């Protein structure tokens, strides 16, 4: 039986048990453990029970070999001149980072070919985890450093994840607070020709806000899956929110459609979050014609605007709680807090930049929004290549972490 068939046939809560049996058979692995990233992206937490406690201690994501692998997304093979070697492998599906698989092998079996094969195993495990999450709470419980609020539970159940990648783009998002916020809207859909993205400001704190955002997200998905364009999606969502709340809970949203072949961008700005573009060494805010927020009035008419992206462009969208801004009154100022945060983090990867921007904004003196969501999209316009595993021996320095 192959590793893939073993994962497919395993009960959702027994994925790791089945994987251990297969890895022992195919790779002579003496142990295998899975570390999952917590909701706040702060620590890697082992799925219990563990087989090698020394290799998979719960710890901060920015320390140790597992943390480095999570941040760099590069497999790491550790040799200590003893009888075994330990492989650390990123568990990631289409850019969404779940955690790290830790496998202990006989030193003689720890070859580059074995590391490549284990990398594919880790990717298959990621796909299996996505399916298993629908049938067991085991992995979601593991990812919690503390209890989620009801609003946070609703948000994590409705949002698609933190990342999506394709040949033409990388898309990563991060929001705080991770355990209690519930009002943000985030979604995307990819076809052969187009990437559609929606981001909305938080509808406020708590469960009522989570219900508003869930209704809005369901309406947008309903319209999109019915084949409606961005204007149709905005109009249907506007009607759904107004019909339920009669203008008392409007939602400022941004709907975007990217033509994957050309980089042409169609936008519906419904009183939206702010949009920033970095092109070369220049970061600037994109000024859009703001229209009425969704659900503010009955039968609002929306229109699209058009932009173009060039390969190498980065778009950053900053969304806050309703009626709040991370920038105060100097949002438009050349040296405002958002621009400063984007400039400080422009050297970071698309995966690391959103969290760094959120932290920079929340550390800004003055009024800080209760909740902030940042989405970063790097536009390539063509497929990029990858790189292989990195091998180290005991005593050698680890590669530097990709930290801000």
- Asked if residues 65 and 398 have their Cβ atoms less than 8 Å apart, the reply is yes
Q: Nearest 5°: CA angle at 100, between 98 and 102?
A: 150
pLDDT of residue 330: 40
Point out which residues pair with 265 in neighbouring strands.
258, 307
* Of residues 199, 152, 134, the one with CA closest to residue 171: 199
* Average pLDDT of span 269-275: 93
* Average pLDDT of span 187-197: 97
Structure tokens at 322: 């309703």
DSSP 81: S
Which pLDDT band holds residue 389 (cuts at 50, 70, 90)? Answer: very low
| Domains of the chain listed by start with CATH number | 3-140 (3.30.450.40), 147-379 (3.60.40.10)
Which pLDDT band holds residue 367 (cuts at 50, 70, 90)? Answer: low
CA dihedral 198, 203, 206, 208 (to 10 degrees): -100
Between 397 and 81, where is the model more confident? 81
Structure tokens at 240: 């759904």
Distance from C-alpha of 93 to C-alpha of 203, rounded to nearest angstrom: 30
pTM: 0.89
Backbone CA torsion sign across 3, 9, 14, 15: positive
Return the percentage of the chain with pLDDT > 90, whole number. Answer: 76
3-class secondary-structure state, position 362 = helix
pLDDT of residue 55: 61
Structure tokens at 208: 């009522």
* Average pLDDT of span 113-122: 96
Strand order through the sheet with 96-106: 59-60, 43-46, 31-37, 96-106, 84-93, 76-79, 390-393
pLDDT of residue 42: 93
Which pLDDT band holds residue 361 (cuts at 50, 70, 90)? Answer: confident
Between 212 and 55, where is the model more confident? 212
Please say if the pLDDT value at position 29 is more than 70.
Answer: yes
pLDDT of residue 397: 41
pLDDT of residue 322: 56
Between 359 and 194, where is the model more confident? 194
pLDDT of residue 394: 41
246 contact partners, CB below 8 Å, separation of at least 6: none
43-47, 108-112, 203-207: lowest mean pLDDT where? 203-207
pLDDT of residue 332: 43
Between 256 and 176, where is the model more confident? 256
* Average pLDDT of span 251-260: 97
Between 323 and 341, where is the model more confident? 341
- Asked if residues 238 and 294 have their Cβ atoms less than 8 Å apart, the reply is yes
37-41, 156-160, 174-178, 390-394: lowest mean pLDDT where? 390-394
* Average pLDDT of span 314-336: 63
* Average pLDDT of span 148-154: 94
Return the percentage of the chain with pLDDT > 70, whole number. Answer: 88
Residue 209 vs residues 37, 200, 202, 292, 402: alpha-carbon distances, Å: 26, 12, 7, 19, 35
Structure tokens at 277: 């573009």
3 contact partners, CB below 8 Å, separation of at least 6: 19, 22, 23, 26, 121, 124
Which backbone phi and psi does 135 adopt, to 5 degrees?
-125, -5
pLDDT per residue as tens digits for the range 207-240? 999 999 999 999 999 999 999 999 999 999 999 9
* Average pLDDT of span 314-329: 70
Distance from C-alpha of 85 to C-alpha of 52, rounded to nearest angstrom: 13
Structure tokens at 207: 């469960």
* Of residues 171, 194, 191, the one with CA closest to residue 266: 194
DSSP string, 270-312: ESPPEEEEEETTEEEEPP----PPBTSSTT-----EEEE--TT
Which pLDDT band holds residue 398 (cuts at 50, 70, 90)? Answer: very low
pLDDT per residue as tens digits for the range 74-114? 999 998 888 999 999 999 999 999 999 999 999 999 999 99
* Average pLDDT of span 336-359: 92
Please say if the pLDDT value at position 329 is more than 80.
Answer: no
């Amino acid at each position: 039986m192959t590793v893939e068939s073993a994962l497919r046939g395993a009960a959702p809560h027994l994925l790791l048990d089945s994987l251990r049996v297969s890895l022992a058979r195919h790779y002579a692995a003496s142990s295998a453990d899975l570390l999952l990233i917590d909701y706040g992206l702060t620590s890697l937490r082992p799925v219990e029970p563990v087989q090698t406690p020394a290799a998979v201690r719960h710890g901060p994501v920015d320390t140790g070999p597992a943390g480095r692998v999570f941040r760099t997304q590069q497999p790491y093979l550790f040799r200590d001149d003893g009888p075994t070697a330990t492989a650390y492998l990123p568990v990631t599906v289409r850019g969404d980072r779940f955690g790290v698989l830790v496998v202990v092998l006989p030193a003689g079996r720890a070859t580059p070919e074995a590391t490549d094969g284990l990398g594919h195993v880790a990717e298959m495990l990621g796909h299996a985890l996505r399916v298993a999450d629908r049938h067991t709470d085991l992995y979601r419980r593991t990812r919690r450093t503390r209890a989620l609020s009801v609003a946070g539970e609703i948000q994590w159940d409705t949002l698609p994840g933190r990342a999506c990648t394709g040949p033409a783009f990388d898309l990563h998002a991060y929001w705080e607070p991770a355990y209690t916020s519930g009002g943000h809207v985030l979604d995307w859909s990819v076809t052969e020709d187009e990437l559609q993205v929606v981001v909305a400001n938080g509808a406020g704190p708590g469960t009522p806000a989570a219900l508003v955002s869930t209704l809005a997200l369901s309406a947008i998905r309903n319209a999109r899956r019915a084949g409606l364009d961005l204007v149709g999606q905005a109009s249907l969502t506007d009607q759904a929110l107004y019909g339920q709340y009669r203008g008392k809970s409007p939602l400022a949203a941004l709907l975007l459609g990217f033509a994957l072949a050309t980089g042409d961008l169609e936008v519906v700005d419904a009183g939206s979050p702010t949009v920033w573009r970095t092109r070369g060494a220049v970061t600037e805010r994109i000024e859009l014609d703001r229209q009425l927020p969704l659900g503010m009035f009955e039968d609002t008419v929306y229109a699209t605007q058009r932009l173009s992206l060039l390969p190498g462009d980065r778009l950053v969208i900053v969304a806050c709680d309703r009626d709040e801004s991370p920038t105060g009154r100097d949002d438009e100022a050349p040296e405002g807090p958002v621009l400063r945060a984007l400039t400080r983090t422009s050297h970071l990867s698309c995966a690391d930049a959103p969290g760094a921007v959120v932290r920079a904004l929340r550390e800004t003196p003055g009024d800080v929004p209760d909740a902030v969501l940042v989405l970063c999209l790097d536009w390539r316009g063509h497929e990029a290549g990858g790189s292989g595993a990195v091998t180290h021996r005991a005593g050698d320095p680890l590669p530097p972490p990709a930290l801000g």
